[in-house]
Every structure is written in C-alpha cells, then in structure tokens.
Amino acid sequence: MNRDEAMMILQAYRPGGQDANDSFFAEALAWVQNDPELAGWFAQQQAFDARITGSLQQVPVPAALKAQILAQHRSKPAAPFDWWSRLFVIQSPIAWAAAAVVLILLGLTLYRNHRSDQSSFAEYSEQMAGAAMTDPHHVDLAVGDLKSAIASLPKDSGDGDLSLPLRLAGGNGLTGCRRLTWHGHDVAMLCFMPAGGGHVDLFVAPATLFPDAPPADQPRFATNNGAPTASWTHAGETYLAVGHGDENQLRNLWSAGKITCIHLKLCTRAGRASF
C-alpha cells in the first residue's frame, strides 16, 4: 500500500469510530501514525466528516411519517404466509434430505429418458451402416423414381425438401426404398446405384433425434462399421449416405469437388411429401 492508497482508504473511515476494529483500515491507519503530514490531513478529514454527519443526522423527519407507515400496514394486511414459504422455513432437515433424494431421482430419471431418446449420431451411423452392408433384406420396395419412393416412405417429419448430392439428383440410379426404425422413430432409406457404378444407401431421419447432428449442407465424411459415409443436415433432417465402395467413390457423388447438395421440392397429389 502506498500513501495515495492509504488516503483513499481512509476516506471511507467513518468519523464515529465504527470502523476502529475493521482490519481493512489497519494498514492505512498505520500510515497515519508514521506520517505527521498525513495525520494532519486525516484529522481534518475526520473533522469535516463529523460535521457533515452531524448535520445530516439533524435533518428532521416528518412527525407523521411513522404513524403513516404503521397505519398503512394496519390497513393492508401483510400477504398470507404462503405454503411454499412455510415449507422453506419450517421443514426439518430430514424432510429436506428426503426432498433432495426425490429431486435427484427425478433428475436421473429425466436424464436417462432424455439420453435414451437422444442417441448420438455416431451410434446411429454405425448401426445404419451395418444395416446397409449386412442386412440381406435390403429394400422393402423396388421403385425407380423418387416420387414413388417418397410416397411409400413414412411421413415422420420434415418439410418435403429433399437434399441430395449432385450425382443422385433427380433420382439417378434409385432402385428402391425401405423403412427402418431408430429408438421408435421412423428412418427412411433410399437405395441408389447411379450410372457409372457404385452403390449408395441414403438414410434420412429427423435431426431432433440427435444432439450432435452433422453440419448443415456440408457433407462430413467418415468411416462407420467399415463403410465410407457422408452425413449432413438440411431442413430439420439428417442425411447419412453409406457407400458400398471406397471413399473416393462416395466423394465423387459431389461433382468436381463441390460440396453442395441439390434440394428437391417434391410434391405429391396430396401435398408436400415429407419424411
């Protein structure tokens, strides 16, 4: 602490001596004892403060104020001591402990339900890639155009805006589709064998199922269950493309290195198609 700091602190020292035992002021007061000039300044400060304090405390208070406060209180009864306030005041420690246990159990239950409902996209990708690669029951319905495929798929969610890689746009190579379920939710699978070779299965599921849904409109490439995959999100739907060849074959679906998707608005006679 330097002299200026001591002066700053001493300004907050009340002239009535209420702060005499406050250790915060001890070091600043020690400066006063060792610095006569500072001691003189401090004495004058205290005298000025005492004068102001005395004057302020002489400010008269309206004689009727107290009576008005009490009258107001009598005319407006205090708010009833609501049951929850009573709960906070009078419950025993045992009751508090019991309430805490109940809250913890409730929290755990909610957390587990939430966890079971919101599985990770990585886990989903592993399982879907496995289904694509090993499941002999590959498609439910052999169809050759997107409109027919979408009409046969579950209308779980989505706004009908289907996001597809450039080389699959327009249903190029579509051979069939299938319904699967994931934690009780429908998942649509479209099977493509585009011209020029290759085999890709595209899984579409609501993005709300996953706390870690893939990035929007930007394919993220990975390997799941030994198969190359690309995943992205568009308009509330997650897309998982599982390639049956190598990773380059999958990447080639996005032409000339462009990482863009074609968005197809598909409408059926009944209205917009959705997953």
Give 65 or 195: the residue with its C-beta nearer to another protein: 65
The reply on whether position 8 binds another protein by CB under 8 A is: yes
Part in contact with another protein (CB under 8 A); list of ranges 62-70, 117-125, 241-249, 255-263? 62-70
Contact map string, positions 84 to 103, toward another protein, x by CB under 8 A: -x--xx--------------
Work out the number of other CB atoms within 10 angstroms of the CB of residue 240. 25
Sequence length of the chain is 275
Q: Closest approach of Cβ 4 to another protein, in Å?
A: 7
Which one, 4 or 248, has the nearer CB to another protein? 4
DSSP state of 80: P
Instruction: Please report, as residue ranges, which positions from 35 to 54 form the binding site for another protein (by CB under 8 A).
Output: 41, 44-45, 47-49, 51-54
Nearest distance in Å: CB 104, another protein: 24
* Nearer to another protein among residue 86 and residue 265 (C-beta): 86
Distance CA 23, CA 3 (A): 17
Q: How many residues bind another protein (CB under 8 A)?
A: 46
Q: Give phi and psi for 161, each to the nearest 5.
A: -90, 105
Burial group, residue 268, by CB count within 10 angstroms (0-12, 13-18, 19+): middle
Helix boundaries (H) for the chain? 3-10, 26-34, 36-56, 65-75, 83-90, 93-117, 121-134, 146-152, 247-251
CB nearer to another protein: give 83 or 195: 83
CA distances from 135 to 18, 140, 208 (A): 84, 12, 26
- CA–CA separation, 243 vs 254, rounded Å? 13
Q: Considering only residues 11-40, where is the footprint of another protein by CB under 8 A?
A: 11-12, 14-16, 18-19, 22, 24
Contacts with another protein by CB under 8 A lie at 4, 7-9, 11-12, 14-16, 18-19, 22, 24, 41, 44-45, 47-49, 51-62, 65-66, 68-70, 72-74, 76, 78-79, 81, 85, 88-89
